[in-house]
Amino acid sequence: MNILLLCNKSPYPPSEGGPMAMNSIITGLLEAGHTVKVMAFNSEKYHVDIDSIPEDYRKKTRIEFIDIDLKIKPKEAFKNLFSDESYHVKRFISEEFNERLIKVLKKERFDVVQLEMIYMTPYIDTIRKHSKATIVLRAHNVEHKIWERMAKKTFFFAKRWYINHLVRTLRNYEMGILDKVDGIAAITITDAAYFRRVTATPVIDLPFGVDIDKFQPVFEVGDTPTFYHIGSMNWMPNEEAIRWFLNNVWDKVLARVPDAQIYLAGRNMPRWLRKTKKKNVVVVGEVPDAHAFVNEHNIAVVPLLSGSGMRIKIIESMALGKTVITTLVGAEGIQYSEFEDIIIADNVPKMVENICRLYQHPEEAEAIGLNARRLVEELYDNKKIINRLEIFYNELKSKREITVLN
């Protein structure tokens, strides 16, 4: 099949959640023998120099960027208060992108056009007008649910009121667009179940997959295990999680195990975190090799309070044989057995207790890490996931052909 992917940001380098999820699909489809073309937005928030992308990857994906300004503009944000349009989505509407898309669709016949996240759905009408391709929405999250959770945790009235306005318009847009695509590939079982309740459009749960051969685990946990968190800090739920963890959990951990250390890695570390004076907290920032960083440490802490979809960094840590301590929100979409593959700690006492216990009993962390790796091999092998996606594409294509004939 010839497949066009429209991406809200570059899938390369796969250094944070969204690009990692997109890249796993792209590389998996290529390895399965399909032809792939990628069109992606390039913004100031997530800017990639196309010359920095390996030549082989550029050739195989025929990737091209269209620049877009995604900066929040106070005047437009204020005017949006008097509109029913989603400000989140509106920012991704680009005449330049639309014109370039038309040229691509006129030049080449595609079997499938895959939209990575709802921010690429404003181009559905253009695709329908200039192509007979099957349109699939790759839903990384139920987008409005992320903001709903954030609104509930916002106590300043004016800010909460504004976020609720964004939630309402985003939810209305998201619910209205689902019937306009031919299929939805949700990243978690939970999200897939939600979509099935609200739309008749065919839905598949298609998790993030890893190339097992590229994940060489280090199972051994020493007598003094170290903790870590890795994730892009320009994703608001990550920053919220680490702020909560440092303010509410870490001091209580040190009161019981004074030598414990946690290492924080990821892009765009905020100033408050870089300047933190918290004891035994090492702010590493962006690392050149995420796998090497994870293998240098022993136990992942992912204290997410909001968000939706699947936490890709959790799957990667599990693939590298690490125990992950997270919340119910963090573990959403992962098919785990608690205390066997992963540890759930949904409040301060549980988080403190589990961190201290694993620090004092590292053999438990080693055993859970072994189970975590087995789980990833069974359920999150990218080859198996791509095979399911191919079947889904073919089912949608057949259904569309039958509909056209009728």
Q: How far apart are CA 135 and CA 184, in angstroms?
A: 9
Q: Which domains does the chain have, with CATH numbers?
A: 2-209+381-405 (3.40.50.2000), 213-379 (3.40.50.2000)
Closest of 206, 154, 197, 198 to residue 176, by C-alpha: 198
Per-residue pLDDT tens over the stretch 39-86: 999 998 889 999 999 999 999 999 999 999 988 888 888 788 888 889
**Are 393 and 1 a contacting pair, CB within 8 Å?**
yes
- With a cut of 90, say whether residue 23 has pLDDT above it: yes
Chain mean position to CA 368: 24
Q: How far apart are CA 61 and CA 71, in angstroms?
A: 28
Chain mean position to CA 381: 17
Q: Which backbone phi and psi does 124 adopt, to 5 degrees?
A: -60, -45
CA distances (Å), 380 to each of 155, 181, 184, 226, in order?
Answer: 38, 26, 19, 26
Give kind and range of the element (H or E) at residue 35: strand 35-42
Per-residue pLDDT tens over the stretch 201-248: 999 999 989 999 999 999 999 899 999 999 989 888 899 999 999 999
pLDDT value at residue 401: 73
**Are 56 and 31 a contacting pair, CB within 8 Å?**
no
Burial class (CB in 10 A: 0-12, 13-18, 19+), 147: buried
Q: How far apart are CA 22 and CA 327, in angstroms?
A: 25
Structure letter (DSSP) for residue 39: E
Residues near 7 by Cβ (< 8 Å), separated by ≥ 6?
22, 38, 39, 40, 41, 116, 120
**Are 16 and 231 a contacting pair, CB within 8 Å?**
yes
pLDDT value at residue 17: 80
Task: Please state, rounded to an integer, the average pLDDT across all residues of the chain.
Answer: 93
SS3 content of the chain, % helix, strand, coil (to 5): 50, 15, 35
Q: How far apart are CA 184 and CA 114, in angstroms?
A: 9
Summarize the confidence of residues 297-314 as an average pLDDT.
Answer: 86
Closest of 112, 95, 88 to residue 38, by C-alpha: 112
What is the CA angle 136-178-171, rounded to 5? 130
Q: How far apart are CA 388 and CA 190, in angstroms?
A: 18
**Sheet strands (E) in 43-161:** 64-67, 112-116, 134-139
Q: How far apart are CA 37 and CA 52, in angstroms?
A: 18
- Hey, what are 87's tokens? 């400000």
Per-residue pLDDT tens over the stretch 277-288: 999 999 999 999
- With a cut of 70, say whether residue 276 has pLDDT above it: yes
Per-residue pLDDT tens over the stretch 357-381: 999 999 999 999 999 999 999 999 9
Q: How far apart are CA 54 and CA 4, in angstroms?
A: 20
pLDDT value at residue 146: 79
